[in-house]
Amino acid sequence: MKNLIHKYKHAWVLSYFVIYMVWFFYLERSVTKNFYTVHIKLDDMIPFNEWFLIPYLLWFLYIFSTVSYFFLTSRSDFYKLTAFLFIGMTICLIIYTIWPNGQDLRPNLDALGRDNVLIDIIRHLYSTDTATNVCPSIHVFNSIGAAIAINKSEALKKKKWLTIGSVILTVLICMSTVFIKQHSVFDVFMGTLLAVVMYLGVYVWVGSKQAAKAKEKKLSAEF
């Protein structure tokens, strides 16, 4: 048991979810009326399509599986991924707090002229998930973060089917947010921009610092 605890002592990082969930649900309950409506013209050109619910829901499995994989296999990659995700998610919550925002894109599902299981699930999703706290999109941001982690992993980058698959799934998830009218296209743009900033910070800047330190340590050992 002691060895197991030592091996997975990096699990403490996951305690962030407690802070995140409390903060997020507080905003979900408090931001209900007075918020900025995010809406651009491109939103009106995108039709509602319930089939995109499938990749939208796959996001939960995608993020859980990616975090779990690196937690179990690579402490270094796990720290990079969680730093990317958790710092970015915190930035999103700060934005939601100081700039309450939401959207008015959801269609009247009863007026679509069709009904199926996917629409029934979306109807339930609409009733449980408010149309607020949407910009930047955490769905988009986290998906891009997972794809970056997979493609940067030394153990996974050689598995082309996996790296390409992660990119395709990420694109579908980003598309799903606007096709089931959970987000504005602007939310997607901002989620992507935040992901770029976090990539430069975590994988480029910090990564270069770690590489330089490792090189210096190696040279010191040689002499």
Q: What is the pLDDT of residues 136-156, one digit of tens each?
A: 999 999 999 999 999 999 999
Cα 191 to Cα 12, 18, 42, 92: the distances in Å are 26, 22, 16, 9
CB 141 within 8 A of CB 14: no
**Domain parsing of the chain, residue ranges:** 56-206
Q: What is the pLDDT of residues 152-211, one digit of tens each?
A: 999 998 899 999 999 999 999 999 999 999 999 999 999 999 999 999 999 997 766 665
Which has the higher per-residue pLDDT, 109 or 32? 109
- Average per-residue pLDDT for the chain: 91
| pTM for the structure as a whole | 0.91
Mean pLDDT of 122-148: 96
The reported pLDDT for the residue numbered 7 is: 73
Cα 138 to Cα 28, 156, 173: the distances in Å are 14, 24, 11
CA-CA distance, 106 to 139, in Å (whole number)? 17
DSSP string across the chain: -HHHHHHTGGGGGGGHHHHHHHHHHHHHHH-SSS-EEP--HHHHTSPP-GGGHHHHHHHHHHHHHHHHHHHHH-HHHHHHHHHHHHHHHHHHHHHHHHS-EE------GGGSS---HHHHHHHHHHHHS-SBS-SS-HHHHHHHHHHHHHHH-TTTTT-HHHHHHHHHHHHHHHHHHHHTTSS-HHHHHHHHHHHHHHHIIIIIIHHHHHHHHHHHHHHHHH-
CB 118 within 8 A of CB 53: yes
CA-CA distance, 97 to 23, in Å (whole number)? 9
Instruction: Provide the pLDDT confidence category of residue 31 given band limits of 50, 70 and 90.
Output: confident
The amino acid that residue 160 corresponds to is: K
Instruction: Compute φ and ψ for 101, nearest 5 degrees.
Output: -140, 165
